[in-house]
Structure 1
């Protein structure tokens, strides 16, 4: 059976960096999309969302040609669920998969929506802790710097889009443009966006870390010296 052409690939896109998002496209045509704003429900809802998109498009998992996974940047738990789901599908179906930067998808949305996008612009998403994930792009939507995580005050003073654009008006120059990721665009553009590799873009160390110093189980000398006397008084 001949391989499908690049224009005819049936692509499933999954991203959980900002919302729970699933997109299905064949070539340049979006077949189905599903989104869920509640990231706390990603573990329970993501796989059913994938199957609903496939069913609604009249295809089965075996029809897929490629899985595109959003690698973030984003929080550890959210990214882990989305990437693990994409990898599980690709492995079970013996499909190729590629990772893309979530911010790149939002940049592609801006370029697709505007005939004259800014010469340079920033895509920002919420990193919490009064910080944002961000990257800088040229007018073609090509990433030229980042991704980074930093306080909003350290983001370049450029037109800014994305879910984080409106969070810190004193520091970010929010302009009209996408505020949520479009999984349909991700499915269409995913095969040609810059390959982000296979490593999730956490950008932060996990909050839970292994202790670097062993705890002693021995009593301090002063405490050990008092023990016999204590036993004598009991």
Structure 2
């Protein structure tokens, strides 16, 4: 599952890198991650004819992404993992997008850029769909022009700034089917996955006021 972007995306996979997802759900709604995620889990399991108790592992996108949406997927995955007694793994959301872009025919080198709001993008550069060559970062698009010039770019962030990313490609948002396939491939190869911890890259929008009036009885 992944909620690091406006997409609420869930998939069920059998763990075989050569197999497609057994079922998947993909909804784009930036304001309803908490409402949509668990019904999507139920819907995917039902579509595949499986029960929650049959799960042997969980993979969740760890971002980077906005604080509110990202934490929905991470907390849900952690709670399900603890309840079921199964491992929970993390995958960088940009890596999942890059992997999906490779399936769409995008060949490296290329860039993945998602919308970070505040007129910024979360981004990373890839040599190919499986190989990230920069750490995930958050920047203003204009500051990246020299680093991404001439490169194809996948992700909704690229589509928002055509003056910097003139060669925007699909997909716009991460898909859990690609995330699951990438995780299955890495696990089969013996590669370590990330812990299920959020990759925020910056502080949340909500802040405790520096000074406020205390209301106390006289």
Normalised to the residue count of structure 2, the TM-score between the two structures is 0.84
Q: 1:68·1:191 contact (CA, 8 Å) conserved in 2?
A: no
RMSD: 2.1
Q: Which moved more, 1:175-184 or 1:102-111?
A: 175-184
Cα distance, 1:163 vs structure 2 = 1.5
Q: In the alignment, is residue 106 of structure 1 matched against residue 97 of structure 2? A: yes
1:205 to 203, 206, 210: 203
Q: Which moved more, 1:152-161 or 1:49-58?
A: 152-161
* Deviating 4+ runs (over 3 angstroms): 191-194, 208-217
Match of 2:164 in 1: 171
Pairs within 5 Å for 1:183-194 = 183-193=176-186
1:51 to 35, 42, 53: 42
- How many residue pairs align between the two structures? 202
More strand by proportion, 1 or 2? 1
Q: 1:16·1:39 contact (CA, 8 Å) conserved in 2?
A: no
CA distance in structure 2 between the aligned counterparts of 1:122 and 1:143, rounded to whole angstroms: 9
Question: Based on CA coordinates, which of the two structures has the bigger radius of gyration?
Answer: 1
Cα distance, 1:141 vs structure 2 = 2.5
Pairs within 5 Å for 1:107-186 = 107-114=98-105, 117-118=107-108, 120-155=109-144, 156-157=147-148, 158-186=151-179
Cα distance, 1:212 vs structure 2 = 6.5
Instruction: Return 5+ residue gaps in structure 2 as ranges.
Output: 187-191
The higher relative CO (CA closer than 8 Å, separation ≥ 6) is in 2
Normalised to the residue count of structure 1, the TM-score between the two structures is 0.79
CA distance in structure 1 between the aligned counterparts of 2:214 and 2:133, rounded to whole angstroms: 49
Q: 1:103·1:123 contact (CA, 8 Å) conserved in 2?
A: yes
Q: 1:153·1:172 contact (CA, 8 Å) conserved in 2?
A: no
Q: In the alignment, is residue 23 of structure 1 matched against residue 16 of structure 2? A: no
CA distance in structure 1 between the aligned counterparts of 2:40 and 2:196, rounded to whole angstroms: 23
CA distance in structure 2 between the aligned counterparts of 1:37 and 1:140, rounded to whole angstroms: 23
Q: 1:99·1:196 contact (CA, 8 Å) conserved in 2?
A: yes
Cα distance, 1:196 vs structure 2 = 3.0
Instruction: Return 5+ residue gaps in structure 1 as ranges.
Output: 1-13, 218-234
